[in-house]
Structure 1
Amino acid sequence: MPATRHTQPSSPETELAAERAHLDRARAELARMREHTLSLQADGGDAIAGEALAHTLWLRARALQDDPRTTLFFGRIDTDAPETLYIGRRHVSDEGGDPVVVDWRAGVSTAFYRASPTEPMGLRRRRRFGVEAGRITAFEDEELQGAPADDRLAATGSSALLAREIERPRIGPMRDIVATIQPEQDEIVRSDVATTICVQGAPGTGKTAVGLHRAAWLLYAFRDRLARSGVLVVGPNRAFLEHVGAVLPSLGEVTVRHTTVEELAAHGTVRAHDIPEVARLKGEARMAEVLREAVWSRVRPATEALVVPRGAHRWRVPAYEVQDILDELRSRGVRYAAARAMLPQRLAHAVLVAMERAGDSPDDTVQDSVARSAAVKAYVKAVWPELTPQVVLHHVLSTGEGLADDQRVMVWDKPSRTPGRARWSVADLALLDELADVVERTPSLGHVVLDEAQDLSPMQLRAVGRRASTGSLTVLGDIAQGTTPWATGSWEESLHHLGKDLGADGVHLEVLDRGFRVPAAVIEYAARLLPHMAPGLGAPRSVRSNPGRLDVVVVGDAVAGAVEAARSASEHEGSVGVIVPDAWVGRVGDALGAAGLEHEVLDGEHAEERILPLHLVPATVAKGLEFDQVVVVEPASIAAAEPDERTGLRRLYVVLTRAVTGLTVVHADPLPAPLAAP
């Protein structure tokens, strides 16, 4: 591949000017590429093809938009060739087709992330750039060959520019980590499209960003395949998806769909709330067999013969022959609706056999006519009725049919008279999705990224897994952060429910325990909870050079204390998250407003359109989010709001590990015992 050749200028100032000139050139070439795309005519030969081509060109032009807030490249590698390659978020070429910037996903870019002095991978030098407001302000070189060890920068994690980028203050949505991907993260990102990867990642290890970058890499490396089958990102709530939603577009991928588990299984509107015990029982894997049997039990035995009038004759198929047809269709392993669709033709064929025995010579048109006859339609309706998931689930939950004794607690105290008036819960949506798949096969996607997977029930995992039945998954989570009634105890169990058994070919578990986001002071404080709520799980290690700030403040009034802590945190650069018990959102919000502290409330569904530095966050919404400064208000109340002690401590672990720079814990009540210990 042709490359930009580089001659070392005589001084750092001259070299910095040369790098800025190369950035200007790259921006000009990107603008040229976009203008060329916009100038193309969408002539596909017909209206439909033309519309599809126009959409493709629009997506291409959108992907070629420049972002003036950042640079088109963040690194440079000098090879043994010798060649100089600039590594960036997307490919940029000149008019002759030679690369000005190489896409970070290209194979040649792998060395930028993985080369080290012990394994230089053909590189002489790696350069990282310091960037402010879209302008190169500094560069830092790492000599990978020939230089004494004392003169080299460390290959991983100790670069000043790398540390500065990781710790840079953030406001608004999640940023990509493309400039700071570490070797162990890069190996996950570049795993083959046929491989399902499960990532156990402690807070701050970048597991969510790794999953999103993996989606971007797969779309680059296997674009034709995944463009047809699709890529989906599944997150815990809308606030989380809005937080991470800018990552893929920043990498030039604008066609990936984002959804929650509830939206994925949107077979009804959530209008009810299950108590934790009922939610746990509804989420158990054994419900799959109950629902499968509930569907197939609707196929009734053939107790009467099929009689089809045709002209002066009445053709008869005995009940035992019909039963053989029903049994054969049930044994084929197809879905309920597919087997039902076959039944009219099978019955019609039996009628044709009877006609042939009588000496007639019917053809295929006669069989089609018989299959569409009123007699056959009526018989099919009687023995193999049409079903909807709502009708079946309403019946199961209303009557308890097929449920074990301990599951009968799910039976509605006041069931609705009709399925159309049913009040479905979140757990019910997964049951409806299971039923929908028993009735009609759910189409599979090429790849699904599932985040916060530890919080999904077996039935919810099955709903996600069937969307990747012929594709692969990137499963992200942390067992220590499981806070639902059905939180998983092992990734082996979760992967099984997803239809991807751990240990099978192409299914791997990877552990990320090096924390790049959460500073040492914060992670060490939160890790006090681990032995009490996730024994045996190793504590994460912070590799940040800055240990961060931790303040534990005892106050007389927790609400007033929260306001003062928020005011103090707002004096620092970057975003601020005030995380409170869910029931306190109104009180703390009013107090912040009265104090003149403008803020956004994250309610789990959406954030306000404004991008403000100060956010008020209910504890149950905090998972997956990050803020430069975090104020956690009344930890004991956050923990006590959960149904049991272990879940309460896990919820607290989540909220304590949202901080990137500083954490302030405000409390009037005594802290939970693990945190109160010196």
Structure 2
Amino acid sequence: MTNAEGSSRQRALDEEQAYVDTAYAALDRQRAGYTDRLREIRAQSGQESAGALSERDSFATHYEDNLIRLRNVENRLVLGRLDLQGGHLEHIGRIGLKNEEQDIILLDWRAPQAEPFYRATAVHPGDVVRRRHIQTRLREVTAVEDELLDSDSSADDGLNLTGEAALMAAMSQSRDGKMTDIVATIQAEQDRIIRDDLGGVLVVQGGPGTGKTAVALHRAAYLLYANREHLSRSGILVIGPSPVFLRYIDQVLPALGESDVVSTTIEGLLPGVRVTASDSAEAAEVKGRLVWRDICRRAVRELLERPLASTVRFTIDGVAVRLTPQDVDAAQRRARRGGRTHNEARDTYARQLVELLAQQVAEGRELSLADNEWIVGDVAASVDARREINLRWLPSSPTQLLERLLDSPALLASIAPQLSESDLAAIARPKGSGFTAADIAILDEMAEYLGPFQDNFERRQRAAAEARNAELSQYVAQTMSAMNLGGGIVSEAALTERMADTGTAQTLAERAAADRSWTYGHVVVDEAQELSPMQWEMLIRRCPSRSMTLVGDLDQRPAGAPRDGWKELLGRLGDRLREEPLTISYRTPATVLNAAGRTLAASGKPVRDVRAARDLPGSLETERTTTEERDAAVVTAVKRLCRELDAEAGSGGTLGVIAPRRRVAAIGDTLAAAPELAEWSLDRDGNEVSSRIHVLDPLQAKGLEYDVVVLVEPQEILADGPGHLYVAMTRPTRKLFIVHTGELPEGLAETEDASGSRKADPRIRKA
């Protein structure tokens, strides 16, 4: 670097440091403002009414939420700068900020004016003369990278990476077990997806490392910004493939300043039900079929709403009464006409029969029922009457009904002619066995027909809560008017919802997560290729508008891609989809990515086109060993690779040991018992994302990434499904080390020349 270049670089650093200082000063002023308001709210007298206390808590929570949001954007607040024609400058940041004169000094990265920062190219620069990427550490500017966009350029080949130096630096960073946002390095093809319209079903098809997950999360943040009024009362639901994955991504949206998002797995969508058992692949497939919609409906109608076979007679208060099949049928038909769920309609059914029997008792005693309502109470208390009425309309919870069906294949067969004997055998299990992930969608379907299952105490509580909420909106409006609040700070509707029913302040995400019937404004699904038809029904129910962002990779399905692609896979969602591809892998070195693609193609599953943004020397190694020496080889490899990580990344960096599912526990035991690995932390159950070493199977590894992966017995993983091996091979950002006892899968260590002849890939090392 010449003296002139060094001087120019320092001037740029000093210039941006001054601007960064100004931006942080504005951020500090906002924080101080919210802190002062919060202090004032908390200092108010504690002698208010219960309603006033609840209202005060809601305002306090609102200010606390904003303080948390502002703290979360502390790191890398300023992202870059646009130099526009005419000399105008725009700085881009995580959130929008104004100075004391209320002039905008920092554009939110999601604002329309910030779009050229991610989209402008040398061929299509628009009004952009120069794009500057600003790198910071804490509040100090550490580097700037300038791109001069020459409108006379006609070249438009290659990868066209935006902010290439910043992007390469981000790709080379060691992993720490948590996903970070990509807001500073979003690429043009990613930005187009992030800013796409809210409506309809957007499918993002992308190979490993193309940034699908990051794009989906940044799209969620963008939609909350661009559609604030629409989404502020409904929120966004994010579905991930596993709890490990959710822990991996849990810092991304807060760092983008958003919190009105519920993140869960598909099996976490049903409050109060925990998955404690697992299914075979065959059982999971059976339970995922759409025929369960009809089975659930028939189960409720035919097993719980039963006809009376013949007239029954009994005595109430010394009077002989009777209940006929026609009486029961009429009461059932009347209850169904109301359109209410089974458990909710039961009151209508029971009340009609109680009144009918009470009229018989009144006539038998020559009394007027209107003047002697105590007779209704006597009928309701009659053991005989309660038995006969209840048996024809049994209350039930979804869990009770499903356990009953799975415990009795004969009973299930009577209402499910669509299931074969082998289907019934695959899913049969005794009561008390626990519920599986595939059960959740069936339970959710049953809940639609059954409705809430409540005892008398719960019914009284619910009625009281509804009465309180009916008075709440007027109270909040009056209070906000008296306090002169609401002008964009917080809405009447938001406060009413926070205070409603609970008596304490709750975030939208907390309320939505606890409510099975909550409908979201938008749903984001990661690893969407894994969901069953019944699981898609769960999501359609929670988003009737069908506004969804679905990201995944059909090549990573164990069974491979369906013939008609996403349209076939998504069923009745398929008629509204628009598909956008991501074609550049920013994670996996080219040597590893190409080997994974060849292996998948050799298994009869041609892979979609994905190009790696970079390659690294020595990124793929293989070691053949014996069955007896396999564990020792894994330990030795892990030790050597951890040492290499220590040298390159200090205490940073992660290593994943991915093995066939049946071997994970034993390999975990081996690594935990190895004294030579004691200096590095080990995670065996996905709970310690900050550990150096992680042991998991390919299914658990979906959506995750590690600096280094030790892959054990790829041939066995291939036998479980080509998609599983493709997932396992494409998790590393630096190196894939394969330990195997048999032959490597076809295509893994070979490449083809122009004539189609196979030869060993010279870039693959053998240990």
Q: If the TM-score is normalised by the length of the shorter chain, which range does it land in?
A: 0.7 to 0.9
State the partner residue of 2:659: 580
Kindly provide the CA deviation profile for residues 254-304 of structure 1, in whole angstroms up to 9, marking residues without a partner as x.
342222222223554444433322222122221221122111212123667
The superposition leaves residues 636-663 of structure 1 with CA deviations (integer Å, 9 ceiling, x where unpaired) of 23334x3xxxx1x221111100011222
Q: Which residue identity is paired with 2:404? A: H
Q: Classify the secondary structure of the residue corresponding to 2:92.
A: strand
Q: 1:537 to 1:342 in 2, by over 3 A?
A: farther
Question: Between the two proteins, what is the percent identity of the paired residues?
Answer: 32
Alignment of 1:456-467 (within 5 A): 456-467=531-542
1:658 and 2:731 aligned: yes
Secondary structure of 1:30's counterpart equals helix
User: Is structure 2 residue 454 aligned with structure 1 residue 384?
Assistant: no
Matched, 1:621 2:734: no
1:501 aligns with 2:576: no
Maintained 8 Å contact 1:189/1:217: yes
> Residues 457 and 486 of structure 1 are in contact (CA less than 8 Å); yes or no, is this contact kept in structure 2?
no
1:653 aligned partner, one-letter code? Y
One-letter amino acid matched to 1:229: S
Instruction: Give 1:447's aligned residue.
Output: 522
* Aligned-partner residue type, residue 438 of structure 1: Y
Q: 1:388 to 1:612 in 2, by over 3 A?
A: closer
Distance 2:295 2:560 in 1: 21
Residues 1:483 and 2:558 aligned together:
yes
1:201 alignment partner AA: G
**Equivalence for 2:128:** 123
Q: Closer, same or farther in 2 for the Cα pair 1:554/1:132, shift >3 Å? A: farther
Bigger mean CA offset, 333-342 vs 456-465: 333-342
Candidates 516, 533, 547, aligned match of 1:472: 547
1:103 aligned to 2:183? no
Q: TM-score, normalized by length of structure 1?
A: 0.84
Corresponding residue for residue 710 of structure 2: 631
Structure 1 residue 584, shift from structure 2 partner? 4.3
Distance 1:586 1:95, change over 3 A: farther
CA contact (8 A) 2:305 2:392 kept: yes
Does the 8 Å CA contact 1:347/1:371 hold for their aligned counterparts? no
Which residue does the alignment assign to 2:486? none
2:633 aligned with 1:564: no
User: Structure 1's 275 and 30: CA in aligned 2 closer, same or farther, altered over 3 A?
Assistant: same
Q: What letter corresponds to residue 559 of structure 1 in structure 2?
A: D
Which residue among 68, 77, 81 is the counterpart of 1:72?
77
Which range is displaced more, 614-623 or 543-552?
A: 543-552
Match of 2:10 in 1: 13
Query: SS of the residue aligned with 1:258?
Result: strand
1:561-583 C-alpha deviation (Å, 9 max, x unpaired) = 32333233331333322323342
Find the aligned partners of 2:335 and 2:668 in 1 and give their Cα distance.
61
Is 1:551 matched with 2:621? Answer: yes
Runs of 5+ unmatched residues, structure 1? 1-8, 355-359
Deviations 1:196-250 (A, max 9, x none): 2222221011111111111111222223332321222221221111111111111
Task: Kindly indicate whether the alpha-carbon contact (under 8 Å) linking 1:16 and 1:138 is maintained by their aligned counterparts in 2.
Answer: yes
Q: What does residue range 317-328 of structure 1 map to in structure 2 within 5 Å? A: 320=326, 323-324=329-330, 326-327=332-333
2:448 to 437, 443, 453: 437
Q: Which residue is equivalent to 2:68?
A: 62
| Residue 119 of structure 1, CA deviation | 2.9
Most deviating of 10-19 and 150-159:
150-159
Deviation, 1:150, is 8.3
- Specify the code of the residue in structure 1 equivalent to 2:92: I
**Any stretches of 5+ residues in structure 2 without a counterpart?**
1-5, 361-366, 452-515, 751-759, 761-767
Q: Which residue of 1 aligns with 2:688?
A: 607
Structure 1 residues 146 and 344: alpha-carbon distance in aligned structure 2, compared to 1, 3 A threshold: same
Deviates more, 1:244-253 or 1:301-310: 301-310
Does residue 594 of structure 1 match 2:667? Answer: no
By how many angstroms is 1:61 displaced? 0.1
User: In 2, are the aligned partners of 1:626 and 1:658 still within 8 Å (CA)?
Assistant: yes
Which AA in structure 2 matches 1:594?
P
| CA 449–152 in structure 1, closer or farther in 2 if over 3 Å, else same | closer
Residue 339 of structure 1 corresponds to 345
Give the Cα–Cα distance (whole angstroms) in 1 for the partners of residues 735 and 24 of structure 2. Answer: 36
Superposition CA RMSD, Å: 4.1
> Is residue 576–residue 630 contact of structure 1 (8 Å, CA) maintained in 2?
yes
Alpha-carbon separation, structure 2, partners of 1:511 and 1:308:
71
* Kept after mapping to 1: 8 A contact 2:631/2:670: no
SS at match of 2:300: helix
In 2, the alpha carbon distance for the partners of 1:86 and 1:163 equals 22
**Residue identity matched to 1:621:** Q
Matches within 5 A, 1:175-190: 175-190=180-195
**2:311 corresponds to 1:300:** no
Instruction: After TM superposition, list the pairs within 5 Å mapping 1:265-414 onto structure 2.
Output: 265=270, 268-297=273-302, 298-301=304-307, 320=326, 323-324=329-330, 326-327=332-333, 329-330=335-336, 334-343=340-349, 381-400=390-409, 401=412, 402-403=415-416, 404=418, 406-407=420-421, 409-411=423-425
SS of 1:64's equivalent in the other structure is helix
Partner of 1:423 in structure 2?
A: 434
The residue that corresponds to 1:6 in the other structure is: none
TM-score, with normalisation over the residues of structure 2? 0.75
Gap change, CA 1:338 and 1:327, over 3 Å in 2:
same
Alignment partners' CA distance in 2, 1:320 and 1:598: 77
